[in-house]
Amino acid sequence: MTSIDLTGRVALVTGGAQGLGEGMARALAAAGARVMIADINEAGAETAAGLGEGHGFVRLDVTDEAGWEAAVAACVDQLGGLDVLVNNAGVEISALITEVQVDDIRTMLDVNILGTTLGLKHGLRAMRPDGAAGKGGSIINISSVAATIAFPAISVYSGTKSAVDRLTRVAAMESGKLGYGVRVNCIYPGLVPTAMGAGLANDMASLGLYGSAEEAVGAVIELTPSGRLGEVEDMADAVVFLASDAARFINGAGIPVDGGMGM
Ligand SMILES: NC(=O)c1ccc[n+]([C@@H]2O[C@H](COP(=O)([O-])OP(=O)(O)OC[C@H]3O[C@@H](n4cnc5c(N)ncnc54)[C@H](O)[C@@H]3O)[C@@H](O)[C@H]2O)c1
């Protein structure tokens, strides 16, 4: 829990129905922002209701451009603007490179790279001075420690998260050069036992890379100076900070939130 005040800001969080995105939505709402959860999973409506009054849900497949236009319009019309965008939706499908399937590669490229790019496109268009929201703001992309280390069985996922890192830098540069007034940063979360994180540990065991999921988790902790896995709140607090004026001179940066695993 942070003491940052985001009263008066409107935040859109993709993939906010569960996991890290849900935690980010909760933390942004707790800091005073009005939050629009955007997710392909309609259970996000219940998550949004759990945030209390003044928040919303919109069904969004981040790979669908028309869906992005509708989601941004919903934010502006229903919540009064768009000041913070968290491009959090992502997918991870584990496979050794020798076994990776074309459909799975395409799914990860689509959601993690195309989805984040469309978020940047429509977020920047809305937030820049001539946009529907028009007040500048902060975009936070969710990369991964996988973009900073080599871990087996997540080659394509790691590649997509490195792409998120580069997209972040170029978007920040364009935004600055063109006077959009939007800061663009990313975080690299360490392993957090959400559905995705726990699934990854199980995959490591079923692919024979570790004796068990617990052994895989132990190996991650062993590589982490802070000596534990990440928690949802660790990522949420970093997002709230980057969304806030406390981070006003942080731009085009990638911030590890991984207990030191990726150093
Ligand atoms: N959990 C970890 O250990 C970890 C570590 C590093 C980075 N990350 C990243 O953090 C983000 C969130 O991960 P998580 O652990 O909460 O995963 P999760 O699987 O628990 O949740 C992902 C959410 O994204 C939504 N989603 C998936 N595809 C979508 C699409 N096409 N359009 C809209 N929404 C979609 C899902 O419905 C779900 O609500 C991802 O980008 C992930 O790559 C996670």
The per-residue pLDDT for range 40-79, each reduced to its tens digit, is 999 999 999 999 999 999 999 999 999 999 999 999 999 9
Question: Which is nearest to 13 in space by CA: 58, 52, 46, 49?
Answer: 58
> What percent of the chain has pLDDT above 70?
99
Indicate if 188 belongs to the active site: no
User: 39 CB under 6 A from ligand 1?
Assistant: yes
Q: Which atom of ligand 1 is nearest to the CA of 17?
A: 39
Residue 109 pLDDT level (bands cut at 50, 70, 90): very high
112 occurs within a structural domain: yes
Indicate whether 152 and 214 sit together in one domain.
no
Indicate whether 246 and 218 sit together in one domain.
no
Indicate whether 72 and 146 sit together in one domain.
yes
Indicate whether 111 and 124 sit together in one domain.
yes
What pTM does this model have? 0.98
Indicate whether 100 and 224 sit together in one domain.
no
Probe residue for ligand 1, chosen from 12, 13, 20, 234 as the CB with the greatest number of ligand atoms within 8 Å: 20
User: 197 CB under 6 A from ligand 1?
Assistant: yes
pLDDT at 227 over 90: yes
Which residues, including other chains, have CB under 8 Å from residue 10's CB and lie 6 or more apart? 33, 34, 35, 36, 75, 79, 80, 81, 82, 83, 84, 133
Of the residues 157, 180, 188, 210, only one is catalytic, namely 157
Neighbours of 214 (CB within 10 A): 11
pLDDT at 2 over 90: no
Indicate whether 70 and 199 sit together in one domain.
no
Question: Which two tokens mark 89?
Answer: 């939706």
34 occurs within a structural domain: yes
Residue nearest to atom 21 of ligand 1 (CA): 19
User: 189 CB under 6 A from ligand 1?
Assistant: yes
Indicate whether 154 and 97 sit together in one domain.
yes
Query: Is the CA virtual torsion 21, 164, 200, 1 positive or negative?
Result: negative
Terminus-to-terminus CA distance in the chain, angstroms? 25
Domain that holds residue 172: 10-190+231-257
Question: Which two tokens mark 192?
Answer: 């957090």
User: 148 CB under 6 A from ligand 1?
Assistant: no
The answer to whether the beta carbons of residues 75 and 102 sit under 8 Å apart is no
Question: Which is nearest to 205 in space by CA: 109, 85, 76, 94?
Answer: 94
Indicate whether 220 and 161 sit together in one domain.
no
Provide the number of structural domains found in the chain.
2
Q: State residue 157's pLDDT score.
A: 98
CATH assignment of the domain containing 159: 3.40.50.720
Q: Which atom of ligand 1 is nearest to the CA of 145?
A: 6
Indicate whether 141 and 185 sit together in one domain.
yes
Probe residue for ligand 1, chosen from 61, 91, 239 as the CB with the greatest number of ligand atoms within 8 Å: 91
Indicate whether 76 and 199 sit together in one domain.
no
* Per-residue pLDDT tens digits for 142-191: 999 999 999 999 999 999 999 999 999 999 999 999 999 999 999 999 99
User: 155 CB under 6 A from ligand 1?
Assistant: no
Q: State residue 196's pLDDT score.
A: 98
- d(CA 178, CA 148) in angstroms, rounded, equals 30
Indicate whether 143 and 207 sit together in one domain.
no
Q: State residue 200's pLDDT score.
A: 97
The answer to whether the beta carbons of residues 163 and 232 sit under 8 Å apart is no
Probe residue for ligand 1, chosen from 12, 37, 40 as the CB with the greatest number of ligand atoms within 8 Å: 40
